[in-house]
Structure formats: C-alpha cells, structure tokens
A and B are shown apart, each in its own frame.
Chain A
C-alpha cells in the first residue's frame, strides 16, 4: 500500500445519477468520475486543447479523405473521434468536441460547403442524428469509464481494509498492534496519525501513544478527549472549531472506547464521503483489534495472577516449614546448652548472641508469614470480648527481652470497657508497635504504653521519645515495605503494615503522629463495648 488513494478524492455521485434521469438530463449530466482524470490530463484547459486538436486533426483527415468517401462517411470519422475523446477527457471538453465536430461537419462537408446552412432535408436529418448519436455515445463511454474508476476505488478501499485487518491479526502484542495501526492508517490516507489509549492509572483519561507520527496541540488533544467521551467520530467540522487540524474517531465496539484515532491530512486536502466511510471502517477494525488485544492481555494477566497466587501459597507453606524447623532446632539446641551445666562467661555470652539472632530471625519469618497471610486475605479475625489492660500486660510479658534497656511507662485507665477484638491479632499488633519503638529508639529512652476511653472508642497508644517520624512519611508509614530513611539498617517495613492489617481486619483503626514534645506516637482505636459492670450474682 505504498500508493495513496487520497490523490484521487472521490465525490459522491449526485442523486440524479442514481435514479433513471430524463433523457435530456441524462445526456447533459456526465458521471462524476468523468471529471477524474489521470494526472497527465487533469487540468481543464489542456483537455479543451485536446478536444480542439482532435477536432482539427479529424477535420484534416476528413478533408483528405472526403473526395473518396463522401460527406456522410466523414461524419462517421468525426463520430469515431468523439468516442475516442470520451475515453480521455472530461465533460466540458467532450461537449465542446461534440459541438465542434457537428458544426465542423455542417460547415465543411455538408452541402453547401463552407456554410452552416444545410440545404437538403436528408443532410439536416444527418446533422441532428449525428449530434444526438455523438452525445449518447460519448455519454455511454464516459459512464463506462466512471464505473470502472469507481470499481477501482472500491477495490483499493477493500484492499486497504484487508491489509489493515491482516496486519492487525498478525500483531503479536499491543505495541506491535499500535505500530501497525499508525503505519497502515498513515499510508492509506497519507496523513499523519495520532493514537490515544485509555490511561490505565486514571480511568476516563487518555495517554498519547508515544510512537504516533503526529503529536497534536492542546486544543486538538481536547477534541480527542471529547471524541473519547462521546464514543463517536468527531472532527473540526463537528466541533465548529476550524482552527483545529485533525479528525478524530473514537475506537469503540460498543463498550467503553479502546482509544481515539486522530488524522491530520496534508494541507488543502479533505476526505471524500467514501473516504470518511473507509476511515469509519478502519476505526471499527482498529477498535476490534485493540479490544481483542485487551482481552488477550487480561487473560494473560489473570493466568499470571492465579499462577503467582499458587506460588505464593506454596512459598508460604514451605517458608513456614523450611525456615521454622531449623529455627526451632537452633533455638532448642542453644537453650539446651544452658540446661547441661554452668557455662563460662564467654560461652554464656555466645549462646546469648545465638539466641538473640535466632529470635530476630524468628520475628522476621513470623512477619513475612503474617504479611503474606494478610496479602492473600487468609486472616479471618475471631472476634470476642477482650480486656485491653490484660492484653497489654500479656504483650509486655511475651516481648520479654525485646524491651530490655527501655523503661516502659504504663498509663492504663481504670475501668476500661471490654472491646470486641481478636486477642491474638491485637496482641501481635501491639507487640509490633512496642518492638518497633524499641528498635527505632536509643537504649535508655522510655517507651510509653497507654489505654484510655475516648468517646465510644478504646484507644491503645504506644509512644516513644525517639527522633519521631519524617513529616512526609507520616501518612504512608503503615504501607508495606515503607521504611523511614533515618531508620537503622535492618527490618523490612513489615511490622507497621502488619499492625494496620491486623487492626483493620477486626474493625479498628491505626494512626501515626509525631508528639509535640518529641518522639513518635502510634494509636490503635477499637470500638468500645459495655463497661464491665458486675453481672448479677447467682450462687
């Protein structure tokens, strides 16, 4: 499809040509394609020169032949020249040729010669018949030619469409599809092409395809967006903004549009009705191809997703087993050493190192497992009444040596109501907050843990006197793998994400803030139940 069809723009055939016209009208109206000429003879005045030249040559020929063949045969020679002319030139020149040959015959050959007067009735009849026959024959010839040209145009359009669909069908992925669209559309309409696709990140918005051959200006972009929203072709004519350079088609197969196609034609050119129709067909084919590509991508994605979920579960199970088993062995082996008898100070220190390292590794494994369970939605909270003060004490006891070196200040309000929570998840959340505070603050700085009633919520609070949170991080501190830039190396940003996940899954909320007088503060808020009043005693 190297050759453009735009150089031969087609116009719709007038309505008069579609119906059976009156004879006179039929004779005078020449089919549209008649005016479409090969490039060589396109310009009008050349065709008239050809018509006049043809007349002059034929007249000379007749002049030479006439003594032998007689004036009636000369009329036939003129007729032949008109037919030949009709094969080559347009409506005006044909009419001129017809008139010239008729008049030329009457002047040069019909007796009396060199006069437009025709003497005999027979010759008058001859003149009238000649004129009519010449008209009819030239008309018929022109029509044949027009139909042939129209046929060629249709074939070209069909070929263009076929090539487009073939190219699109052979495209391997989205990038390939888009590249082929830009190339094919550009060649077919010899125009510059712009493509927009829906923005995956922001629904309802468009992104320009980077490899477009045309990158439209701001007002044009707006028009493309309008085409996208309207799901129908738009263009400068429809928008009424003649300053815009492009034509736009919404690429839709009925559902949400798959994108927008924009064309910028070469200056001075316009699309004919048939070409608009072809462009509509193109837009539909492209939309189908893009939709198909979208479905294929979705299928591949969902396959990948289920595959990765399966992998995730397998990994979870094997991590759980393969890491915990040796960890158990290490922990129990090193603690057995102590039970076997008194250790030297150095041995005792070394076993402590091994113990603290394996405890840390155990926390990491536990954190990974918790995060994985949260991510895969495997956490189902088991809600029941809990005493938060009791839970705070249990958490502090279970953390054991983790909080060594940090004085813990407890501020537990008396008479707190019970809360409906999952005690196991809540204990781990609280434990993570405390461990987090211990890890991120210097030894010796206090950690505060408080519980109080605030309105209809029980607020659990863990606060430290460390450096606090970077202000820009406060909002995202609970995101997975979020670590503050000032944090000590180590840790993976899992702890707080698990806190958030565990608390939210049981209907609570988490909040992080910096304390006005220094340090970070984390809150867990849970809806309060009834105050634990003494239920009626029955012996």
Chain B
C-alpha cells in the first residue's frame, strides 16, 4: 500500500450527492494521504474542478441535478485528470458509455474501499507514465517486448499472428485499464467493425489459449462482463 508522498499530496475531487458517501470517502482517502474536496452536485463539481486542477476525480454517475455522463463529457473537454466513475450493478450500458466518454475506470456500488483505492492508484500511475512508457511487460512467466515485437512464455517464443499481436499490444499499452468492446474493435478492426463481437471473442479466446496459464486464478485478460476486457497488471 503505497501512499502518496506527504510533501505533495495528490488532490482528489469527489462528486457524489450522498453526504454519507462523501464523508466516508473523505475519511478513507485522507487517511491514505490524499487531499480531498467534495461536491454534492454536478454543477458544483464542475465549478470546483475548474477553479483548481485535481489529480483525480471520483464521479458518481447517479447525480440528482444532471446526468453524470454529461458531467463526465464536459470535464473531459478540458481536463486530462483521471476520472473514476461510481455506478450501479445493472448499469452496464452506463459503464460502457462512461468508458467511451473518457472515464478511466469504474467501480460498481456497493464497492470495497480497497477496490476503489486500487483503481485510483492504477489510474494515477497510467496518467503519470503515459501509455507504452515501458516497452517490456511482464505477467507471471509471460514477457511482452513491444520494442522488439517479441512475446515469450517461460522463455519460449510465442507465435502470434499480426492481428493477435496488434490486439495484445493494444492491451499492453492500456494495461490495467478496461477497454470496451467497441474501443478494441475500433482500434484493431477499424470503425466499420465496431460491432463485430464474434471476431473479438475468437481472438481473445486464441490469445488466452496461447498466453494464459490459469484462466481462473490469474487471468491475463480479465473479463468485464458485458463491458470489455482489462489486461492484468504485472
């Protein structure tokens, strides 16, 4: 559990209409060394975010005054800070929409604070380093070297087709982040194949067969049911 350094606390803005959740998160996050502000409405939240830039924003999609997705899109127009959204279990469409609109991650309510903290840390890490800053990715005994286009498993080279490799590279570049089906399809197959789920499932299946050792205990490609996939962090 790595806390941000005391001299330069990471600033977090919480936009949630529930005072209780605001209070709880403030206590938990301040205990971890974050500097926390909170807003109860989308309008107030946007105003506060505009006043002073934050390192990370936690946004509840179920806001009373405005649509949380709308707040998300407006924030994304001018801020690059990671945004983690809070959503409900049956809000699959909402999750996809949020991720496609620029949310960095989501946490489903009711959530465990550890989970939220982990998601926040991962998002902060990604925003610090930027994509593909590290050319070699390790996961268990798997090694992906983006610079040399080389994939090895237990030291043995793994043969991947061009498409399989492109898909894997996309995941490695965004490791730890949920990629929606649409985002993946658009990136690898092109905008005209946004809905070609069959191809996506088949390629993920084949990458799993070639790369995963234990799909249950330590999956490389974590299934976010109905939403997309997330590449495990090393």
Contact = CB atoms under 8 A, between A and B. Distances in A.
B198 to A, nearest CB: 4
Contact of A385 (B110, B201, B206): B201
A338 B226 contact: no
A539 B162 contact: yes
B44 interface: no
Nearest to B25: A332
B8 interface: no
Contacts of B117: 339
Interface stretch (B69-77, B85-93, B122-130, B138-146): B85-93
B109 A339 contact: no
Contacts of A331: 110-112
Interface string A527-538: 001001011011
A184 interface: no
B171 to A, nearest CB: 15
Contact of B111 (A325, A328, A396): A328
A8 interface: no
Interface residues of B, number: 43
Interface string A410-434: 1000000010001110010000000
A329 interface: yes
Nearest to A321: B62
Contact of A339 (B113, B198, B215, B223): B113
Given A332-B28, A418-B202, A535-B199, A424 B226 contact: yes
B1 A339 contact: yes
A534 B32 contact: no
A272 interface: no
A387 B219 contact: no
Dominant SS among interface residues on chain B? helix
| A contact face: mostly helix, strand, loop, or mixed | helix
A391 interface: yes
Contacts of B112: 331-332, 335, 355
B62 to A, nearest CB: 8
Interface range for A: 35 or more
Interface in B157-208: 161-163, 195, 197-199, 201-202, 204-206, 208
Nearest to A331: B110
Contacts of A332: 21, 24-25, 28, 110-113, 116
A436 interface: no
Contacts of B154: none
B114 interface: yes
Contacts of B195: 384
B225 A339 contact: no
A390 interface: yes
B28 A398 contact: no
A317 to B, nearest CB: 11
A171 interface: no
A537 B225 contact: no
A424 B225 contact: yes
Contacts of A271: none
B31 interface: yes
B7 interface: no
B18 interface: yes
A408 to B, nearest CB: 9
Contacts of A427: 225-226
Contacts of A325: 18, 20-21
Interface in A320-362: 320, 324-333, 335-336, 338-340, 355, 358, 362
Contacts of B88: 320, 324
A292 interface: no
Given A327-B110, A336-B27, A339-B31, A418 B21 contact: no
A451 to B, nearest CB: 13
B216 interface: yes
Contacts of A515: none
Contacts of B90: 369-370, 373
Interface string A371-406: 001000000001011110111011011100000000
Nearest to A383: B197
Contacts of A509: none
A355 B115 CA distance: 14
A329 B88 CA distance: 13
A245 B71 CA distance: 81
Contact of B201 (A324, A327, A335, A418): A418
B225 A391 contact: yes
A370 B88 CA distance: 13
B47 to A, nearest CB: 24
A418 B18 contact: no
Contacts of A213: none
* Most chain B CB inside 10 Å of its own CB: which residue of A326, A338, A396, A532: A532
Nearest to B31: A340
Given A331-B112, A332-B112, A423-B225, A397 B216 contact: yes
Interface string B73-104: 00000000000000011101000000000000
The list of the 8 closest CB pairs from A to B, nearest first, reads: A331-B110, A424-B226, A335-B112, A336-B28, A394-B223, A539-B162, A328-B110, A336-B113
8 contacts: A325-B20, A330-B110, A332-B113, A339-B114, A369-B90, A390-B205, A391-B225, A394-B225
Interface of A: 320, 324-333, 335-336, 338-340, 355, 358, 362, 366, 369-370, 373, 382, 384-387, 389-391, 393-394, 396-398, 410, 418, 422-424, 427, 529, 532, 534-535, 537-539
